[in-house]
Each structure stands twice: as C-alpha cells, then as structure tokens.
Amino acid sequence: MHGLGAAEASATALELVRTRHGSPGAALEQAHPFMRILRDAADAVVKVDARAGSVIFAGAGNIVGRILTATEDKALVSRAGMLGEQTHVLDDAAQAWPERSVIVFHSDGLRNSWDLSAVRGILQCDPAVIAGWLLRDYARSYDAVTVVVLKARLNEQRRSFPVTREKLAPTSD
C-alpha cells in the first residue's frame, strides 16, 4: 500500500482502531469492512501493558513482530491475507514482555533474516539505535519500510520509537 490513497486509508484505519474497544483482534475485525471500502492493507495492533509486562498482538498481512531477550526470540505471528480483502480470523496472541527485553515490529520492507544476537550489546542500546541498525543492514532497497522498537526497562517508563527512513520520532506509551 503506497501513495496518497494509502495515506488516507492508513489514517482511517488508525482512527477506526483507536475508537474501537476490546482486544487487538476485535479492533482489526471491526476495521476490516471499512478497509474493504477504502483499500486493502497489512495491519497490526498491539496492546502493551507495561506495568504487567505483557503484550497482546493481532495482525493481518506482512507485519512481523518479535520479542527478544538475551536468551529467547519469540515470534508474534500475523495472519495471512490483508485487512479489507480476505483474511483469516484475527486471533489475539498474548505474550509476556520480560524486563530487559526488546519488541521489534516491522513491515516487509525489512528482510526477515536479521539477528540481534549477532551484535554484542545491541539489546542494551536505545530503541532508536536498534531500529537504525536494522534499517541500515536489513532494509530492502526497493520497498518502503517501517520499524517499531519497544524496550522494557527496569524502574523506568517504557518507550517506543517508530522509525521510518524519513523520520525518527520518540513517543511514550
């Protein structure tokens, strides 16, 4: 999904998800018929409970999510299909978000072959550094890419950094 039509469809989908209550899967299911009118898209919603150390994820299309610790790499799986087109039931996947872990979400503009364990100390870096490293080494030259990195920190507010090739914008949850 690219161009002005894609931007309008994205804004509408975001507003639909923000105004719907319930789980991430339910929000995507509710947005699905509206996206059929606008344009199909790969979409994902994640609900983060920083205090409880948990995430609930639902996605459709080419969205990859992974929770990484020093010893584990757990996938958050999107369903095949596209929102607004044909997709399977959008189930929620609940996972623990341990202290000192990192969650990475990205579009298909980033190659799936990346491995943070190959870079000593990267999990201790700021989320923007992690996202920048992924973009530098694994972005496909022929596709748009978005990377979002969330980092669990001891006794601090958890922060996220959505990163695209065009901008770097920190946000708080």
123-142 pLDDT, tens digit each:
889 999 999 999 999 998 88
Ramachandran angles phi, psi of 20, nearest 5°: -90, 145
Structural domains of the chain in order of their starting residue, each with its CATH number: 4-167 (3.60.40.10)
Rounded Cα distance between 85 and 61, Å, is 10
Task: Provide the CB-side half-sphere exposure for 80 (13 A, CA).
Answer: 0
Rounded Cα distance between 173 and 171, Å, is 7
Mean pLDDT throughout 57-61? 82
- According to the model, what pLDDT value does residue 169 have? 45
Q: Mean pLDDT for the chain?
A: 77
The whole-model pTM stands at 0.74
Ramachandran angles phi, psi of 75, nearest 5°: -85, 140
Q: Is 142 exposed, middle or buried (0-12, 13-18, 19+ CB in 10 A)?
A: exposed
71-116 pLDDT, tens digit each:
899 988 877 666 666 666 678 888 998 888 899 999 888 998 999 8
Rounded Cα distance between 144 and 131, Å, is 15
Asked if residue 26 has pLDDT above 70, the reply is yes
**What would the two tokens of residue 18 be?**
């923000």
